[in-house]
Amino acid sequence: MATFVLVHGSHDGGWVWQRLAPLLREAGHAVYAPTLTGLADRQHLIDCDVNLTTHVTDIVGLLTFEDLSDVSLVGNSYGGMVITGVAAKVPQRLARLVYLDAYVPDDGQCAADLWPPERRAFSEPVVSGPTRVAAPPSPALFGVSDPTMIAWMTTRMTPHPLATYEEAVSVGNAASLAVPRTFIHCTDTPVSTPDVFSPFAAKARSRGWTVHEIDTGHVPMLTAPQALAAVLLDEVGRAEANE
């Protein structure tokens, strides 16, 4: 049995995995899908100085208090920043990192450093009390075309604290960097949306990581859960075969 910990991206919450998680559990694996502080069902905490360290601490705390080990840690989009920071803190608890159409930062980079200029327009700040936040965009920008799903996502997406994009991440030491890494590239990018994640797929290939492609938009856990589950289960199966 593998253990998956699924880390969502900007504006989302643990809810975004609800089509994927049952498929992994049906295959016999344990699945955790936490919501990061200040988002979704934890949005009431958004004024509590939430930054990248907060979100890294969320996941480190989960791994520690649930006593999880040999974890397949999956991060979508901004979640790539979070899982990188987690690997720097507790590499001994991880079996692999899976960057799901996600940022792949180098040491000392923040998420905003990795944005192309046209991406910045999607994170114009909205002031809410003492907190600077980015308003949620339309799910259509993530490659979601089904009107029912767009409506469902829109009611659940919440503002995202800008400080999380501005704090640099540490990639850690040799033990952290030794954790195996995989990249899953979602290739169906809407014409109106900046192609943010193709460069990270290229970076992953240049580093010798396994790179998978899924012909869907940026949130495959909702738009192509069966295809995504197949890739994740294949990763676990290949690792077990090599042991």
Active site residues: 77
The residue type at 163: A
DSSP-derived 3-state class of residue 214:
strand
* Torsion of the alpha carbons at 115, 121, 123 and 125, rounded to the nearest 10: 130
Rounded-to-integer distance, Cα 38 and Cα 121, Å: 22
Rounded-to-integer distance, Cα 83 and Cα 19, Å: 21
Rounded-to-integer distance, Cα 19 and Cα 58, Å: 23
Which residues are 185's β-sheet partners?
213
Rounded-to-integer distance, Cα 29 and Cα 20, Å: 12
The residue type at 154: T
DSSP-derived 3-state class of residue 82:
helix
